[in-house]
Amino acid sequence: MSELELGSLGLVLNVADDRAHVEQAAEAERLGFSALWLFGGQLELLEPLADLLRATEKVAVAPAIVSLDVHGVDDVVRLLRALDEGEAERLVGGFGAPQRVARPLAGLGEFLDELDHADVSLPAARRLIAALGPRKLELARDRAAGAITMLVTPGYTAWAREVLGPDATLVVIQPVVLDADLGRARRTVRGPLGFLLSVGGYAANMRRMGFGDDDIAAMSDELVDAIATVGDADAILAAVRAHLDAGADHVALSVFSEGDQPGAIEVARAVAAASTLPR
């Protein structure tokens, strides 16, 4: 059912108190990135999405993801009402199942039902659902434009494409660290990875992708290198191409950094300078 066109390469920005992300959004658009993303954990309010839309002209703007434990349909409707028509048409909703309910998948379905009947709605063709397992992928196929995945291998991407079918949009959020010191880069990945493996279905999906409990517990080099990219801009672009070749429609770079490692906009500049990808 998808008619969603995100282009092939996106960038995740970090919401900053000094609003640096707003200037970075405009620069990322000039660099050729076709969609900009904000992580849902940074969205206590949804207004930063409006800020990015107003700072740009053509790119899609999306959350990955709006937490349904924090925001309801009324918050989404309030955001839509604050946008002009052109801005609203570039907003893509990324949603995931609530975690604080007994039946998360049912809770997500109820949210989508309510959104369908809102007086100012975000159509299914501009919705994506965070999905790892087959049931959520099927829901993303049937109730949205497609799925958002993260911490996945190209092999998983190929499998997800089979579940979604040929028409749904498949987005991969790809963690990256731009650092020639691979040991240091892997240590940077392990910080947020340790937290992510403790929530949601990420650990279960690691097992689905063939990693054992020892790999998961130790966050082994093999696991880190399989689901994140460390190294230079060419390594990052090779990972993007691997997911696109496996069936992804769009890959968004999520930059991890510590100390003097480059942040999101610095990585965006390096990747744009090296890239021949259509965006």
pLDDT in tens, 97-124: 988 888 999 999 999 999 999 998 899 9
pLDDT at 2: 57
- Least confident segment among 70-79, 130-139, 195-204, 209-218: 195-204
pLDDT at 278: 60
Quote the percentage of the chain above a pLDDT of 70: 97
CA 38/CA 110 separation, integer angstroms = 24
pLDDT at 62: 98
| Angle made by CA atoms 44, 186, 62, in degrees to the nearest 5 | 30
Peptide bond into 65 cis (omega under 30): yes
pLDDT at 277: 62
pLDDT at 196: 93
Sign of the CA dihedral running 25, 29, 31, 32: positive
Mean per-residue pLDDT over the chain, rounded = 95
